[in-house]
């Protein structure tokens, strides 16, 4: 057994402890034990496996701290420990793994700061530590980690000036920093990340304006800056993101009008600009977003009529224009919205009759009006659609 070079026992029903004798397998290069019911601590003796290249212990019930002895695994390239019950801090010795390219620590109970030397070797491409209780700033080592492709740090308590703590990443495809305590401005450097597909910094404390340079990241398909303190106008350069599928700027303090150029984003599926201070009229060019199934412009200061071009958005499932100052009649063109399930036009200054054609919309939820004599569209709030795109699927295979 001492000559064993690979061991694959993943996705079984194995239970109990990882034996300390595991550390005697000095020729082991690959250990796949993920997807079992293993419990107890990770034995310190694993640090004796100097030939180990790939260690995957995810999706078990392992507890205790990450042993510092893992820093002795000088040949380690892949370390997956996600979806366990691990606690304590991430040992600084992780920085000794100069060849490490993939590190998964997400969905544990880890605390403390991210180690300063986490990318000391410059090889790190894939790093997940989301869904823990981590605190403190982004380490300097990550700022200079130019080979990064995917970073998931959401749902922690990380803090720091995000405009200073992150660098330029030419290979970065996905970065998820939502639900932390970051502050500062959205950096213009994101426009230099030309491979970027998804940028999400929602529910932090960001301030300042959205930089026009964001429009230079032409490959981006998901942009979520919602629930921050962003101000100023939506830059017209954002329309350069012609690959964008999902745009969420809701819950900020954005003002001014929606740029006409937004209608150039013909691939957009999901648009949420709600809960801002946007004003003037809803641009007619919004009718060019033919692929959209979700459109939320509620809780703003839009005035004048609802553009009839909204009737072109035949794939819409949810349309929310509530809590504005819209006036005149509900467009009869809404009869074309045959996929619509939820329509909210409440808290506006609309007048005239409710179009009879709305009754022909098959998907709409209806109930009786205030006097019990008319059918009208139910104002269903807080309706959330599942996103079916661009979120990492949990696997133990090496991602692209």
Q: Buried (b) or exposed (e) across 332-355, using 16+ Cβ within 10 A?
A: ebbebbeebbbbbbbebebeeebe
- CA dist 317 and 341 (Å) reads 5
Question: What is the model's pTM?
Answer: 0.89
- CA dist 358 and 360 (Å) reads 5
Average pLDDT in the chain: 89
- In this predicted structure, what is the pLDDT of residue 141? 82
Residue 199, strand partner residues: 175, 223
Cβ proximity of 119 and 142 under 8 Å:
yes
For the stretch 162-208, pLDDT in tens is 988 888 899 999 999 999 999 999 999 999 999 999 999 999 999 99
Q: Per CATH, the architecture of 1-153 is what?
A: Alpha-Beta Horseshoe (3.80)
- In this predicted structure, what is the pLDDT of residue 182? 96
Domain boundaries, the chain: 1-153
Residue 322 pLDDT > 50, yes or no? Answer: yes
For the stretch 367-387, pLDDT in tens is 322 232 233 233 323 323 333
Name the more confident of 360 and 262: 262
Span 243-247, average pLDDT = 96
Span 54-62, average pLDDT = 98
For the stretch 152-163, pLDDT in tens is 999 999 999 998
2 pLDDT tier (thresholds 50, 70, 90): low
Exposure of 91 by Cβ count < 10 A (0-12 exposed, 13-18 middle, 19+ buried)? middle
For the stretch 79-134, pLDDT in tens is 999 999 999 999 999 999 999 999 999 999 999 999 999 998 899 999 999 999 99
Residue 35 pLDDT > 50, yes or no? Answer: yes
Q: Cα-atom radius of gyration of the chain, to the nearest Å?
A: 25
283 pLDDT tier (thresholds 50, 70, 90): very high
Q: How many CA atoms lie within 13 A of 112 on its CB side?
A: 13
């Amino acid at each position: 057994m001492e000559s064993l070079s690979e061991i694959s026992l993943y996705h079984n029903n194995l239970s109990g402890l990882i034996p300390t004798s595991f550390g005697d397998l000095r020729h082991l290069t690959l250990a796949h034990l993920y997807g079992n019911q293993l419990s107890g601590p990770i034995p310190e003796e694993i640090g004796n496996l100097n030939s180990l290249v790939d260690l995957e212990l995810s999706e078990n019930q392992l507890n205790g701290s990450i042993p510092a002895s893992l820093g002795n695994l000088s040949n380690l390239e892949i370390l997956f420990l996600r979806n366990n019950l691990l606690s304590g801090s991430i040992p600084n010795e992780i920085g000794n793994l100069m060849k490490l390219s993939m590190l998964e620590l997400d969905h544990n109970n880890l605390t403390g700061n991210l180690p300063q030397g986490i990318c000391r070797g410059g090889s790190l491409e894939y790093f997940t530590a989301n869904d823990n209780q981590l605190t403190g700033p982004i380490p300097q080592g990550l700022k200079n980690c130019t080979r990064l492709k995917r970073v998931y740090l959401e749902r922690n308590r990380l803090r720091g000036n995000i405009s200073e703590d992150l660098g330029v990443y030419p290979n970065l495809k996905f970065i998820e920093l939502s639900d932390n305590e970051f502050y500062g401005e959205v950096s213009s450097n994101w426009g230099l990340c030309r491979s970027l597909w998804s940028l999400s910094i929602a529910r932090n404390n960001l301030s300042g304006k959205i930089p026009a340079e964001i429009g230079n990241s032409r490959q981006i398909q998901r942009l979520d800056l919602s629930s921050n303190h962003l101000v100023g106008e939506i830059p017209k350069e954002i329309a350069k993101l012609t690959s964008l599928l999902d745009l969420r700027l809701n819950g900020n303090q954005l003002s001014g009008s929606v740029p006409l150029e937004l209608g150039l984003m013909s691939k957009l599926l999901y648009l949420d600009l709600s809960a801002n201070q946007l004003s003037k009229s809803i641009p007619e060019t919004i009718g060019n977003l033919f692929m959209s199934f979700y459109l939320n412009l509620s809780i703003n200061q839009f005035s004048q009529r609802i553009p009839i071009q909204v009737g072109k958005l035949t794939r819409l499932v949810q349309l929310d224009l509530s809590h504005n100052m819209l006036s005149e009649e509900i467009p009869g063109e809404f009869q074309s919205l045959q996929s619509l399930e939820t329509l909210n036009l409440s808290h506006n200054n609309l007048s005239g009759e409710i179009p009879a054609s709305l009754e022909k919309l098959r998907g709409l939820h209806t109930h009786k009006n205030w006097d019990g004599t008319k059918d009208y569209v139910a104002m269903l709030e807080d309706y959330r659609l599942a996103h079916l795109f661009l979120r990492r699927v949990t696997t133990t295979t090496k991602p692209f």
